[in-house]
């Protein structure tokens, strides 16, 4: 690798995009610039990247972007955004020689082994493996993302996933009634219909429309001008509205059950990491005991899930860090070829 190189990294979300430039000096990476953009303000991703590079004049040699949605042949139709993105077109449009797209949760997964202790809050202690090899990240945000990481022989193998769109599995009577309510509405009920920023209002609507619960007037007034999921979360955390509290209880239970299923499926000795825009904001609710109770309710496999630690990532730049780390490693490979 050249003594001085510039790389670009991005975390593209349904709500916002983080773009950053990093300088590499003597093998050390330092951030030169970072900007946040509202995703809905752009008709395509190319114009957003051009605007960032105009605001921060630089010539990155490589760019890696974490994008919601499955990547195929260097192309993606972004989930929750009307964007089609191609590595070749983005390279041609921006002049960046090397462009790599990967799933946004894959980018987050890439960062997990290197996250400092100050950036993760322990939720379930589990057992600390001496040389962990498997990690899971689950991210309730605008949608529900997840990914896996395998570390072996000094190599990182990312396993992308669209499991957030797998069919939701009720774990009790209330969840079964919720499933029935959403099945009538959508036909198919995925995990994302409940465990996400777009899903939490579905749970609230179930309680109001199907269970005939009456929310506070303050809740309904706030919902006229603000994001419904944010209103529900705030009213639940402040204990001002019992309908919102019940909605959050169901949300947390569904998240815990999904995490436990992934714990049994992948047996991540490195832990399960909750990322995305929601978990760190509702950490008091996640840590009140309900999440742990549902997570550990694994019958004869309880000893397996008990051994797996669960953490909450408390910053919004893990995907950006993962993308930057991958860009650094890919550029090193290119220059050594």
Model-wide pTM > 0.75: yes
The residues facing 68 across adjacent strands are: none
pLDDT of residue 14: 78
Beta strands 271-274 and 310-313, pairing class:
parallel
pLDDT per position as a tens digit, 258-305: 999 999 999 999 999 999 889 999 999 999 999 999 999 998 999 999
pLDDT per position as a tens digit, 110-138: 999 989 999 999 999 999 888 999 999 99
Mean pLDDT of the chain: 93
CA gap 325, 70 in Å, rounded: 20
Residue 20: DSSP 8-state? E
pLDDT of residue 3: 56
Quickly list H helices, 56-141: 87-94, 104-111
Share of the chain above pLDDT 70, in %: 99
Q: Which of 51-65, 141-155, 222-236, 313-327 has the highest mean pLDDT?
A: 222-236
CB 266 within 8 A of CB 134: yes
pLDDT of residue 162: 87
Q: Which of 305, 285, 314 is nearest to 126 (CA)?
A: 305
pLDDT of residue 13: 82
Overall average pLDDT of the 163-173 stretch = 93
The burial of 167, by beta-carbon neighbours within 10 Å (0-12 exposed, 13-18 middle, 19 or more buried), is given as exposed
What lies within 8 Å, CB to CB, of 203 at 6+ separation is: 178, 194, 247, 250, 251
Dump strand ranges (E) for 26-143: 28-38, 62-67, 75-77, 84-86, 98-103, 120-124, 134-140
pLDDT exceeds 80 at position 1 = no
Overall average pLDDT of the 194-219 stretch = 97
CA gap 146, 140 in Å, rounded: 9
pLDDT per position as a tens digit, 67-115: 888 899 999 998 778 899 999 999 999 999 999 999 889 999 999 998 9
The burial of 298, by beta-carbon neighbours within 10 Å (0-12 exposed, 13-18 middle, 19 or more buried), is given as middle
């Amino acid at each position: 690798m050249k003594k001085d190189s510039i790389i670009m990294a991005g975390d593209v979300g349904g709500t916002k995009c983080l773009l950053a430039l990093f300088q590499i000096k003597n093998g050390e990476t330092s951030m030169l610039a970072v900007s946040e953009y509202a995703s809905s303000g752009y008709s395509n991703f190319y114009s957003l990247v051009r605007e960032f590079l105009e605001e921060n004049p630089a010539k990155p040699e490589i760019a890696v972007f974490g994008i919601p949605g499955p990547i195929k042949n260097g192309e993606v139709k972004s989930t929750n955004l009307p964007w089609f993105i191609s590595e070749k077109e983005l390279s041609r449009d921006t002049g960046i020689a090397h462009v790599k797209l990967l799933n946004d949760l894959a980018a987050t997964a890439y960062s997990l082994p290197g996250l400092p202790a100050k950036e993760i809050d322990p939720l379930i202690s589990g057992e600390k493996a001496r040389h962990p090899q498997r990690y899971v990240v689950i991210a309730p945000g605008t949608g529900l993302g997840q990914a896996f990481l395998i570390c072996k022989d000094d190599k990182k193998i990312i396993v992308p996933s669209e499991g957030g769109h797998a069919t939701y599995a009720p774990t009790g009577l209330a969840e079964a009634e919720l499933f029935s309510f959403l099945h009538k509405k959508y036909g198919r009920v995925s995990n994302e219909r409940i465990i996400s920023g777009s899903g939490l209002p579905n749970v609230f609507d179930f309680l109001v429309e199907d269970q005939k619960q009456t929310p506070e007037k303050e809740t309904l007034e706030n919902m006229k001008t603000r994001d419904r999921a944010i209103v529900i979360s705030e009213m639940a955390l402040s204990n001002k509205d019992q309908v919102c509290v019940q909605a959050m209880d169901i949300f947390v239970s569904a998240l815990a059950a999904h995490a436990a299923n992934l714990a049994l499926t992948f047996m991540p000795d490195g832990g399960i990491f909750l990322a995305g825009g929601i978990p760190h904001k509702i950490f008091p609710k996640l840590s009140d005991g309900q999440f742990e109770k549902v997570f550990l309710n694994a019958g004869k496999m309880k000893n397996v899930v008990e051994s797996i630690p669960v953490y909450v990532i408390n910053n919004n730049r893990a995907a950006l860090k993962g993308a930057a780390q991958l860009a650094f490693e890919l550029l090193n490979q290119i220059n050594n070829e």
